[in-house]
Amino acid sequence: YIWHLLGCRSCQKDVFNDPIHGHIEMHPLLVRIIDTPQFQRLRYIKQLGGTYYVFPGASHNRFEHSLGVGYLAGRLIRALQKRQPELDINQRDILCVQIAGLCHDLGHGPFSHMYDGRFIPRVCPGTAWKHEDASVKMFEHLIDSNDLRPVLKYYGLKPDEDIDFIKEQIAGPIKTEKNSSSWPYRGRPEEKGFLYEIVANKTSGIDVDKWDYFARDCHHLGIQNNFDYVRFIKFARVCEFEGKKHICTRDKEVGNLYDMFHTRNCLHRRAYQHKISNIIETMITDALLKANPHIIIKGSGGEEYNIATAREDMEAYTKLTDEIFLRILHSDEPNLEEAREILCKIERRDLYKYLGQTQPQEGTGNYKGGTLSHKPGLKPEDFIVDVINMDYGMKKKNPVNNVRFYCKSDLNKAFRISKEQVSKLLPEKFEEQQIRVYCKTADEETICDARKYFVQWCIDNNFTKPQVRKV
Task: Report, as residue numbers or ranges, the catalytic residues.
Answer: 131
Q: Could you tell me how far CA 319 lies from the centroid of its own chain?
A: 20
Neighbours of 315 (CB within 10 A): 19
**Nearest 5°: CA angle at 357, between 350 and 224?**
80
66, 72, 73, 76: CA torsion to nearest 10: -170
In the beta sheet, which residues pair with residue 415? 405
In the beta sheet, which residues pair with residue 241? 244
CA distance 280 to 55: 12
Residues 73, 79 contacting (CB under 8 angstroms): no
CA count, 13 A, side-chain hemisphere, 87: 27
CA distance 438 to 450: 9
Q: Which residues contact 188 (CB under 8 A, 6 or more apart)?
A: 93, 165, 195, 196
Sign of CA dihedral 142, 148, 152, 153: positive
**Nearest 5°: CA angle at 159, between 157 and 162?**
75
User: How is residue 181 annotated by DSSP?
Assistant: S
User: How is residue 24 annotated by DSSP?
Assistant: E
User: How is residue 392 annotated by DSSP?
Assistant: S
Task: Output the CA–CA distances (angstroms, integers) from residue 24 to 20, 227, 308, 367, in the order listed.
Answer: 10, 20, 36, 45
User: How is residue 187 annotated by DSSP?
Assistant: S
Residues 412, 239 contacting (CB under 8 angstroms): yes
Q: Which residues contact 302 (CB under 8 A, 6 or more apart)?
A: none
The helix (run of H) or strand (run of E) holding residue 383 is strand 383-391
In the beta sheet, which residues pair with residue 25? 15
